[in-house]
Amino acid sequence: MATQRASAATRETYGRTLLTMADDHPDIVVLGGDLNVSTFVHLWRDQYPERFFDFGPAEQNIVGVAAGLAAAGKVPFVSTFSVFGTGRPYDQLRVLVSQPSLNVKLVCTHAGILTGEDGMSAHGIEDLSLMCALPSFTVITPSDAPETEQAVRAVASTQGPVYVRLPRAATQIVHDNGYQFEIGAADVMKSGGDVSIIAMGSLVAPALDAADSLAGQGIDARVVNLHTLAPADEAAIITAAQETGAVVTAEEHYVHGGLGSVVAGVLARNCPVPVEMVALHGYTSSGPANELMEKNGLTAAGVEAAVHRVLKRKR
């Protein structure tokens, strides 16, 4: 049975956290893309209009201006939906932001398939593969509201380009007040010696639920929250593989280019073990978010089934 947890929308946490940072970070400016209420940067717009710029649905222009602002010493936060913020301005992100390693913070919401009824065209399932392909970008996928708050504060104080991925729907809160987020340092949420479940974002809570169910079957599963894909905590990935001998990855992203690809690459170079991937294998349909997650196996049951598959391959 799944653990009952409170939920919160990380995109709202982002908007409210950003607002509290205005005085301590006077160089922060915010750039919106016609979706300011949905990304919650309207809170900043209403309180700091002189530090807010709305370009409408012109994402290439937004990124170009953000690069100019960063080159002039500002700390621009760019926010829109993930499909618009990573796909449409990709050349600008590559040439104007990544190559000169400018201090642009791209925080995109409505990632993955939790956009639900918005349909296939709004499902951001390729964004991590795109952003991880840009060498100078730090890429972060927070799992819940407490982690999002700390991540936003951390990236504001970190030099260089950063992409933060947030969903539309509320996600379960899996961290308490004692949690300390650190860019590039994996969060081992549960110890275990039989198999490692490495998850991120909206799949961390189902991974924990799967581990609880597996414990009742005598299977001791480790759960690792790999919130930072670039730079990934390779030491934590290798240790998990060495100590458990089998790995399952869980992500709300296309199976190629995201968490599974990053983990598999690290293990192929350092510690080959059986790996199963819980991920999307293509575009999906329009529908309620929970139904889409169920349809595509992005659930605790889906993670649990992957654990049983990988254990059959474990030597």
Instruction: Please give the positions annotated as active site.
Output: 59
Residue 99 CB coordination number (10 Å)? 13
> What is the C-alpha to C-alpha distance for residues 34 and 88, in angstroms, rounded to an integer?
14
> What is the C-alpha to C-alpha distance for residues 70 and 236, in angstroms, rounded to an integer?
33
CB 314 within 8 A of CB 245: yes
> What is the C-alpha to C-alpha distance for residues 149 and 298, in angstroms, rounded to an integer?
25
Name, in order, each residue with C-beta under 8 angstroms of 237's C-beta and a sequence gap of 6 or more. 186, 198, 224, 226, 247, 263, 266, 267
Which two tokens mark 67? 């690069």
Cross-strand partners of 140: 164, 228
Pairing of strands 75-81, 28-32: parallel
Exposure string over 301-311, b if 16+ CB within 10 A, otherwise e: ebbbbbbeebb
Instruction: State the residue for tokens 């949905």.
Output: 38
